[in-house]
């Protein structure tokens, strides 16, 4: 049997307004632009896709199943500017066929720079999920942009609330093995007295067929239909049990426009998967897939990996002088921000946390060729240097509020 595990990341950052060295006010975020973008994406993706998923769950008597992580910054924007999307997502979760995962509240790189802040953001996100989804308590975890290593797996096990993590299936770590099984981190990664998390690895080839290649007319498989994709899923039988399709939620309607046929593909996919191997193939949530199969081996990564760019490392957010300087100075302010917050500035900690969102450093990436084109697509700036200058202008003002 082969079970499709659909996992979607739903995230929106709080983008900065154009902030010059002459600005002195503490209002850093362009709420007009953020609201406009959120509403546009809601119209193109969030509303039609979430309603489609709910319809598919009902049509197939809950045999169709999906999983989400929704960043805390996206939750705040949905609650403010598209509450109906939250309502539909809540109805989807209430069917029992949709799982929610935990993550950092502000979609941050906090694990790399401040474990205390990482833990606090995880707690904040967990509380938001409980508040907005009728007390829901996730048992699976994903870190920002699937950033992962052995140390993180041990830390998440130490937190105690999670049985499963999702991460990228990186060829150089799999060393010829299939990503279509459940894996475990190295035994020594888990602290004594704690249960190790189980790992589900993204099948990036099949995921990217949908997320990136679906509308590419130069792709030899274009146009892709649900029946052919279901046959590829069925071919996993004998080389695994799971087809882990992990992708941005905006794949549907935003990155792949409705005119490409992506919604028709999604509509027909469940039935095609069921029909490709009746009684055998189906769909599972992340936690269901983890519980259904024992780990077949260890998946070990001493270095950090992610699902971004061709390198699948941290270079989308860190590594060039702009990124490294900006994030170092940001986290140098953490102690001062906390002290100032405790002394009576009620907004400073939340302002600082919104600056920890990984997107700000993604915009500073100076890669070229294909990966650079992807970065340009998502960036509101004319260049990585503009992104850096704007961020540092904001950070300079935050520094004056801290008093350093």
Known catalytic residues? 145
DSSP states along 6-38 = EEEEE----PBPP--TT--SS--B-HHHHHHHH
What Rg do the C-alpha atoms of the chain give, in angstroms?
A: 21
* φ/ψ (deg, to 5) at 24: -130, 0
HSE toward the beta carbon, residue 203, CA cutoff 13 A: 24
Among the listed residues 242, 228, 239, 240, the one whose alpha carbon sits nearest the alpha carbon of residue 282: 242
DSSP states along 316-370 = TTSSSHHHHHHHHHHHHTHHHHHHHHHTT-SSHHHHHHHHTBTHHHHTT----HH
Burial class (CB in 10 A: 0-12, 13-18, 19+), 257: middle
DSSP class of residue 199?
Answer: E
DSSP states along 111-125 = HHH-HHHHHHHHHHH
Helix axes 115-132, 72-81, angle to 10 degrees: 40
Within 8 A by CB and 6+ apart from 170, the residues are 301, 305, 312
CA 297 to chain centre: 25
HSE toward the beta carbon, residue 60, CA cutoff 13 A: 22
């Amino acid at each position: 049997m082969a079970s499709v595990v659909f996992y979607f990341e739903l995230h929106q950052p709080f983008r900065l307004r154009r902030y010059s060295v002459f600005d002195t006010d503490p209002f850093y975020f362009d709420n007009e632009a953020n609201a406009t973008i959120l509403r546009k994406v809601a119209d193109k993706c969030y509303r039609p896709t979430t309603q489609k998923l709910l319809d598919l769950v009902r049509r197939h008597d809950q045999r169709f199943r999906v999983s989400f992580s929704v960043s805390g910054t996206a939750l705040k924007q949905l609650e403010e500017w598209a509450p109906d999307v939250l309502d539909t997502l809540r109805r989807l979760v209430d069917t029992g066929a949709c799982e929610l995962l935990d993550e950092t509240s502000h979609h941050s790189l906090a694990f790399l720079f401040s474990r205390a802040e990482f833990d606090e953001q995880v707690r904040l996100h967990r509380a938001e999920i409980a508040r907005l989804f009728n007390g829901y308590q996730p048992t699976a975890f994903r870190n920002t942009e699937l950033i992962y290593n052995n140390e993180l797996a041990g830390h998440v096990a130490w937190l105690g609330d999670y049985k499963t993590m999702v991460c990228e299936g990186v060829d150089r770590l799999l060393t010829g093995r299939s990503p279509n099984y459940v894996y475990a981190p190295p035994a020594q990664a888990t602290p004594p007295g704690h249960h190790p998390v189980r790992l589900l690895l993204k099948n990036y080839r099949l995921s990217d067929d949908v997320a990136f290649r679906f509308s590419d007319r130069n792709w030899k498989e274009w146009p892709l239909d649900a029946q052919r994709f279901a046959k590829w899923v069925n071919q996993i039988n004998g080389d695994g049990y799971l087809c882990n399709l992990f992708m941005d939620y905006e794949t549907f309607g935003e990155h792949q426009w409705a005119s490409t046929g992506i919604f028709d593909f999604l509509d027909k996919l469940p039935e095609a998967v069921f029909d490709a191997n009746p009684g055998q193939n189906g769909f599972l949530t992340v936690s269901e897939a983890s519980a259904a199969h024992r780990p077949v081996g260890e998946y070990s990564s001493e270095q950090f990996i992610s699902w971004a760019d061709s390198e699948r490392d941290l270079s989308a957010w860190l590594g060039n002088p702009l990124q490294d300087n900006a994030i170092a100075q940001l986290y140098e302010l953490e102690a001062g921000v906390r002290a100032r917050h405790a002394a009576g500035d009620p907004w400073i900690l939340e302002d600082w946390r919104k600056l920890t969102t990984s997107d700000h450093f993604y915009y500073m990436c100076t890669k070229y060729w294909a990966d650079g084109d992807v970065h340009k697509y998502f960036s509101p700036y004319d260049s990585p240097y503009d992104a850096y200058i704007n961020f540092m202008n904001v950070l300079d003002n935050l520094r004056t509020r801290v008093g350093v």
